[in-house]
Structures are given as structure tokens and as C-alpha cells.
Amino acid sequence: MKEKYNCYHCGDLCIDNIIADGNHFCCNGCKHVYLLLSENGLCNYYQLNNTPGIKAKGKFTGERFAYLDDESVISKIVLFKSSNHINVTFSLPQIHCVSCIYLLEKLHLIESGIIQSRVDFQQKSIFISFNPQLISLRKVVELLSFIGYEPSISMLENSGAADKSTNKKQLIQIGVAGFCFSNIMMLSFPEYFSKGFIEQPGLQQTFSWIIFVLSIPVFLYSASSIFSNAINGLTQKKINIDVPISLAIFITFSRSYFEIFTHTGSGYLDSGTGIIFFMLIGRWFQNKSYDVLSFDRKYQSYFPLGITIKNNGIEENIPISKLAIDDFILVRNNDLIPADSILMEGVANIDYSFVNGENTLQKKNIGDLLYAGGKQFGTSILLKTIKVPSQSYITELWNNSIFNKNKETSESFIHPWSKYFTVVLLSIAFLATIYWQFTDSSKVLLVLTSVLIIACPCSLLLSATFTFGNMMRVIGKHHLFLKNATVIESLAKITHVVFDKTGTITTQEKPDIKYNGIPLSEIENDLIKLTASNSSHVLSRSLYHYLPLSPNNISTSIVEYSEEAGKGILAKTSDSVLRIGNSEFAVADLLNHVFKSAAVHVEINNNYKGYFDISHHYRDGLNKMVAQLNKKYVLHILSGDNDAEKQALENIFGNNTTIKFFVSPQGKLDYVKTLQQNGANVLMIGDGLNDAGALMQANVGIAVSENRANFSPASDAIIDGHALKMLPLFLKYARMGKVNISIGFAVSIIYNIIGISLAIQGKILPVIAAILMPISSITIVLIAFLTSIWSEKLLKISFSKS
């Protein structure tokens, strides 16, 4: 019996005996990374965490990052550049543990050209400064890729810096408002306790003037965003919630200033600044979203930044933006085709799953048209472009106007409320004015202003911002990440749910594998597993994980091994020859059988044994999810794939579901549009570039991602593949959100009634306003918090019951 070892670096099971310093490794790639680290004294990497490494993907072709030598590319990526100093920030989605931070911040020990590296764990990014005379940008990226952290480089996604500066401005606004509010509150206490009369001459004046000075930055700086929102709303002839709030703030401050200047009182500046403080906190809370995830991706983010062109036999790396029609381009194994082009040289095996959701590789001959977005498997191919990247078939989608306008967010139901609120408030103020005009005209102004001061539309706003903000966090805890809190409202209104098939309701993680043919002996089984373990092809990896590890020692070892990319593997041991691969490769009498799913054929010693049928596995819990959704929503499936699995899908989804196959990306977009024109609110769930149009068009688009670090198309939300089965619960939770907010609204209305009824009697005093304001704000925040937790609990109970 052989002992089983897990790779010291990445934790995978070891098949071969690869040992260094007494540690076992699953492959040579992992071993090399280990050796590099141990050479440079970085073995603490392995002490901080067990098997922290990222499985080495083997050697990447040396030219992969060649475009990083191009000056124009470098200047777009780097933050700062001088003759002996370059600063650059990369996004490294692989960062996952303390060891990563340790290793990445010690890069200067591996390469002396690197001056300093700083990791931001939450942003999953690294800041590197290096000396370009000692090490090139390309070398830095290659080093990162070698140790497993391949940066995702895109010139478009540098908006992070702008986000940070607005975030900072918000924080400072809150800080200023909080500081002024608390000091004003403190300076107002003496007056409240002394019932408005302070003996010491001049002291009251001093207090008033300090309060006045402290309120100015709140009014001019902290509240500026509220005012500008209100003005924006008014210029679009809409009354948004900021309009009544701005009105209230304006009146509170102007009346207070009037009182201070005329020495008639000390005003309501404590409540006024307090309101602004609480509201800014609410906004900050609602806008705090998931920085790491990128929800707005254009097609440029999917394509490589640089490409190798080969004109007149000379290879040259150029940025993709310079690619022109009739250029000859070189596309290597695993590279994405950047533009529609014609195959000139080589054997093309194209994986279009990204573009149209089809599973199987397509073999293309010289002269065939290849569409942008396909991925080449196998040897390098030479193509001649016939269109520029922005005009290609798949990218045409982005020229659709849907990508250029911001999604019409269906009007939030808070806004009608704020309209009613403003109307009711103004009419109450008007009636009160008329009443006091006839009874005691000296009090008219007092009553009018107190009504507007005490009525607090901000508590309506607070209940919405805090409830949605909390709910977004609760949903995020269960691996559905929303772009912003307003998505919850849109989710609550959904009537139709449209699914993509491949990658959405099926998963690539655990394919269903069936063997057809002559039964395999244990030795043959071992032989196939051993052979498959040597290849990094997707099907080989699936096969490797599927085949059981036999209890006996694998006695044989491979003497000769060759992999013909896109076709199969030839492996020789001391006593047998094994060919596994596609039907052409493993010479098979296939009797014209058409394979709709991917198949791996096996031939041992020139005898055809059979094939492994590898098809996608439907996600766990799919049946239950569909049953729950069917009760309330109309379901649709749009697949770009062939109809091989029609029967299986019908069994799961039942008769009420429309199932369409061979749908083009544009077709998906149009289908969603048609549903919407018939009055439906559509939720689209998809994963690939081919769903991108439909995801944008739908009222809510959710992108499914197995690995959050992977690319996902532009969407309103990103869901973890495993969490998809909880979709019915998420939708129910979103619907409960409206109830939660209504509870908050009801409470804030009660406060308003109490406040306004005091105000119209002319009885409101600064001290009452000062007490009522924080109490109402804090209770509303508490209610928002409790209701969102409470409804999550309810759902958890119903989930565990079902």
C-alpha cells in the first residue's frame, strides 16, 4: 500500500512521486513554486496556513505577456513612471488568505528590482513599485503569474481611484457634520436646563455665536450633496425625497439664523445639524457596496489587452486597440480570438461556450470564419482579421443602445410617498397660517416655520436607506451580491424568470460521466487515470476526478507521453499503448454515431474499448428551486446550445416553461424585450458573454459565477453558483422588504403627527425638537435593523422546513 499525500503547495492529491525537501507535490509546477520560495527564504508561506498555494497551471507560453513590453500599454497601466521608479496597482482575484499577504509583500526578496509591494486584502489588489532598470513590467507580471497570482489586467477598470475619493469626501462630510452636531448639542444644554435664561451676562450670546459659526460648515459643506440632489430633481421636474428635506433644512437654518441675529432665541440648529448627520450616515450605509466585484463590464474587459501580429513573417506585439482589418494575428492555446477573422494556418479547435453556450469544441478548417470571443485549444493558429474588434459579431451586442443608457430604474416607491408627504405638509402649513392669521397674527411666521422644521421627511428616507442597506448585507451573507440597494425593490416586482442553460442551471464543476463500451479492468482503469492526470485539458481533469483511485499501487509508469492539443493523449507504458481523445484520435468504428455531448474515447493496444460520455451536471437543488418558483413566476429557458437535453429539461421544469434552443445572443435580448413589452417584469439569470445583452435588458440581471474572481458579464447582481438554489428565498425576502419599510414609515408618520400637532398650536420649543429628532431617527434605524434580521430568521426557518 502506498501512502496518500496531499500536495504541500496546493493541497491536491498527489499521484506521482514528486518530492522536494521531504515534501510531496502534485505536479512539477507546484514544486517549482515551492523551490523558488524556499530559495528566497519565504517558507513561512506554508507555516501561516496549510497548503495555501494556488495550483500551478504549468508553464505559460513565453509570449503571453509580451504586450506588456509595449510602451503605450505600459503608460496606460502604471500609476506613476520615472526613469528608475514605476508604481502600478494590479487586481489579484486569487488573494484568499494570510499567506497570500505574506508572500506578496515579500516579493522584493525574490526580485531585487521590486522596491516595495503592498496588498489591500479587501480590494484584492496589490500595489507594487519597482525599478524598471532592474526588472520590466512584463517580468513582474510573469513572476506574479508564476507563483499563482495572475493579475487581471484591464485598462478600463481603473475607476477604483475615483470611487475612493468620493468615499473619502463622504466620510469627511459625515465627520464634519458629526463634530458640529455634537458640539452644538452640548452648547445648547445650558439653555435647555435653565429654561432659556442664563444669568451670566454675555454667556448666552457667546453660546449662540459659537453655535452659529459651527453650523456654517454643516450647511455649506456637509449638506451640499442633499441640495444638489434636490436641484437635479427639480430641473428634471421631479419631486424626489431630497426636495422636502432641502426645504426643511433651509427653513430650519434661516429661522435659526434670524433668531440669533435678532437676539430672540437660539434657534433649532442642534436638530438641523443632527438631521443632516443622520441622513449622511444613512446614505453612506446604503451606498456601501461590494468594492471587489465589478458589475459594469464591457466587452473590452474580456479580451486580451495585447495581441501578436505577424505581418511579413515578423512577429510584433501590439495593443488590441491598434488592431486593423487584414492584419495577420497569432492566437495561442487558451487565447481568446479578439476579432472576427479567417483561419489561415493551423488546426483550430474553438470553444464558443463563452459566446453561445455550446459545450463542445468546434473544429475549423483553413478558410473558415472564426468569431470573436471563441477560445482556441491546441496549437497556435494564424488568422486574418476581417473586422475590427468593436464591430465583431459578439461585440455588436454592445452597440445596442441598451448598453449606452443607464438602466431605467423603476421609480422607487419612496418617491411617490415623498410627493404625498410634501403636498400634505404644505397644505397643513397653509391651513395653520390662515387659522393663526385670524386668531393671533403675530404667531403666523412662528407656526409656519415650526411646522416645516418639525415635520421630518428624513425619517422616511432613513427607514428606506437603512432597511435596504441591511437587507443587502443579509443577502450578501448568503452569496447573492447586489450592485446597489435599489435592486431589492426591482426584485420584489419580478413576474417572469428567464434562465440560461449552460453554466447557469448546469455546473461545470462536477460533470456527469458515463462509460459506454467494453468493461475496463482495474489496471486499465488505473492507466487511464494516470494518463489523464498528466494533462491539463478540461476533459482530462474531469475524467481524472471521476475515475476511482484503485486500492492497489499503480505499478506502471509512463515511458512516453505526448499530447496533441485539441485531439487527445498518447501514452506508452512498458507493456501497453494508450490513446484517449476524440473520435478521430482514438481510431474507432463509430458507426456514424453523432455525439451531442463531449465524449472521450479510449483505445488500448490498438483495441477500441469505448468512450466516456461527459455531460454537464444540473445544479443540486434545481428540482426543488423550480418547483418553488413555478408557484409564483413564469419560467423560461433560453439556451444557445443544441436541444440534446430537451427531454431532461422538460422533466425538471414541467409543461408551463417555455424552453428555446439555438438562441443567439441578440435573440435572448429580443426575447426579454418582448416579454417586457407584454407587461412582464423580467429577471434574467445567465453567466456568459452571450447573456450579456439579455442581462442588461432585463429588469434585474443576475450573473452566475462559480468563482467570484472570474469574469462575469455586466449585471445588477452576482450570485454564487451554489446559492442559486436559494433564489426563491431571495425573491421572497425582497418582497418582505416592502413590508419592513412600511413598518418604518408607519412609525415615522406617528412621530410626524405628534410633532406637527404641537407645531400648529405654536407650542414647539427648540428643546422639544431637539428631543424628538434623535429619538425618531434612532428608533427608525433600530426598526430597520430588527425587521431585516427578523425576516431573515423567518426565511431560514421555512428553508430548513422545506
Partner 1 sequence: MSSLFIILGVSIIISISFLLAFIWSVINGQYDDHYTPSVRILFEDDDNKLNNEQISK
Question: In the range 86-105, which residues lie near partner 1 by CB under 8 A?
Answer: 98, 101-102, 105
Helices and strands, number each (H, E), in the chain? 25, 28
Cell digits for 21?
525537501
**DSSP H helices in 535-659:** 538-546, 622-630, 646-653
Pair 312, 336: CB distance under 8 Å: no
CB of 102 to partner 1, least distance (A): 6
CA 256 to each of CA 201, 271, 766: distance values in angstroms, whole numbers, following the listed order: 21, 11, 10
Q: Is 42 an interacting residue with respect to partner 1 (CB under 8 A)?
A: yes
Please report where in the chains the cell 455550446 appears, as a residue. Answer: 358
When the beta carbons of 476 and 621 are compared against partner 1, the nearer one is: 476
- Contact between 257 and partner 1 per CB under 8 A: no
Which one of residues 17, 61, 122, 410 is an interface residue with partner 1 (CB under 8 A)?
Answer: 122
Binding to partner 1 by residue 654, rule CB under 8 A?
A: no
- What does the DSSP 8-state code read for residue 711? -
44 near partner 1 (CB under 8 A): yes
Q: By CB under 8 A, tell whether 176 contacts partner 1.
A: yes
Q: Which residues contact 368 (CB under 8 A, 6 or more apart)?
A: 342, 343, 348
Q: Which helix (H) or strand (E) holds 175?
A: helix 160-193
Nearer to partner 1, 41 or 416 (CB): 41
| 19 belongs to the binding site for partner 1 (CB under 8 A) | no
Q: How far is the CB of 119 from partner 1 (least distance, A)?
A: 6
Given candidates 123, 152, 379, 576, which one binds partner 1 under the rule CB under 8 A? 123
Q: Which of 172, 216, 324, 559 binds partner 1 (CB under 8 A)?
A: 172
Stretches 84-92, 164-172, 317-325, 428-436: which one binds partner 1 (CB under 8 A)? 164-172
Find the distance separating the first CA and the last CA of the chain, reported in whole Å.
45
Stretch that binds partner 1, among 169-177, 334-342, 724-732, 772-780 (CB under 8 A): 169-177
Rounded distance between C-alpha atoms, residue 250 and residue 380, angstroms: 68
Helix axes 414-439, 727-760, angle to 10 degrees: 10
Residue among 41, 58, 196, 654 that touches partner 1 (CB under 8 A):
41
CB closer to partner 1 out of 209 and 662: 209
Of the pair 230, 260, the CB lying nearest partner 1 is at 260
Nearer to partner 1, 179 or 561 (CB): 179
Kindly indicate which of the ranges 172-180, 418-426, 494-502, 611-619 contains the residues binding partner 1, using the contact rule CB under 8 A: 172-180
Q: Determine the interface stretch with partner 1 among 41-49, 241-249, 275-283, 653-661 (rule: CB under 8 A).
A: 41-49
User: In the sheet where 85-91 sits, what is the strand order?
Assistant: 80-82, 85-91, 125-130, 114-120
Q: Is 552:529 a contact under the CB 8 Å cutoff?
A: no
Residues, the chain, total?
802
Rounded to 5°, the CA angle 280-205-277 comes to 5
**Least distance in angstroms from the C-beta of 80 to partner 1:** 16
Question: Strand 496-500 and strand 682-686: pairing?
Answer: parallel
Output the smallest distance, CB 399 to partner 1, in A.
Answer: 37
- Least distance CB 34 / partner 1 (angstroms): 13
Q: Could you tell me the smallest distance in angstroms from the CB atom of residue 104 to partner 1?
A: 10
Candidates 19, 79, 134, 171: give the one binding partner 1 (CB under 8 A): 171
Type of residue found at 775: I
CA distance 799 to 757: 46
Q: Are 392 and 339 in contact (CB under 8 A)?
A: yes
| Cell numbers representing residue 718 in the block | 452576482
- Which of residues 177 and 471 has its CB atom nearest to partner 1 in the complex? 177
Q: Rule CB under 8 A: say whether 179 interacts with partner 1.
A: yes
Place of cell 419631486: 239
Decide: is 617 part of the binding site for partner 1 (CB under 8 A).
Answer: no
Q: Is 109 in the site for partner 1 (CB under 8 A)?
A: yes
Per CB under 8 A, does 163 bind partner 1? no
Give 106 or 738: the residue with its C-beta nearer to partner 1.
106
Binding region for partner 1 (CB under 8 A) out of 116-124, 656-664, 701-709, 732-740: 116-124
Residues 194-213 that bind partner 1 (CB under 8 A): 200, 203, 206, 210
Torsion angle (degrees, nearest 10) of CA 708, 667, 363, 710: -10
In the range 376-435, which residues lie near partner 1 by CB under 8 A? Answer: none
Among 38, 94, 334, 525, binds partner 1 (CB under 8 A): 38
* Cα–Cα distance for residue pair 250/256, rounded to 1 Å: 10
- Does the protein bind partner 1 through residue 474 (CB under 8 A)? no
- The residues that bridge with 376 in the sheet, in sequence order, are 350
x/- track of binding to partner 1 for residues 209-248 (CB under 8 A): -x--------------------------------------
* Separation between Cα atoms, residue 38 and residue 22, nearest integer Å: 13
Shortest reach from residue 645's CB to partner 1, in Å: 44
- Least gap, CB of 7 to partner 1 (angstroms): 19
Determine the Cα angle at 297 with ends 340 and 675, to 5°. Answer: 85
Q: Which amino acid is at 737?
A: G
Report whether 535 contacts 563 (CB < 8 A). Answer: yes
What's the CA angle centered on 759, arms 753 and 763, to 5 degrees? 125
The nearer residue to partner 1, 127 or 608, going by C-beta atoms, is: 127
CA distance 424 to 439: 23
Select 98 or 445, whichever has its Cβ closest to partner 1: 98
Q: Which residues of 606-622 are buried (b: 16+ CB within 10 A; e: fewer)?
A: eebbbbbbbbbbbbeeb
Q: Which of 57, 106, 384, 722 binds partner 1 (CB under 8 A)?
A: 106
CB of 117 to partner 1, least distance (A): 11
The interface region with partner 1, picked from 4-12, 59-67, 112-120, 639-647 by CB under 8 A, is 112-120
Which member of 120, 524, 670, 706 binds partner 1 (CB under 8 A)? 120
3-state class (DSSP) for residue 360? coil
Burial readout 344-363 (b: 16 or more C-beta within 10 A, e: otherwise): eebbbbbbbbbbbbbbbbee
- Measured from the CB atom, is 292 or 447 closer to partner 1? 292
Which one-letter DSSP state was computed for residue 794?
Answer: H
Question: Where on the chain is the footprint of partner 1 (CB under 8 A)?
Answer: 38, 41-44, 98, 101-102, 105-106, 109, 118-123, 164, 168, 171-172, 175-176, 179, 183, 200, 203, 206, 210
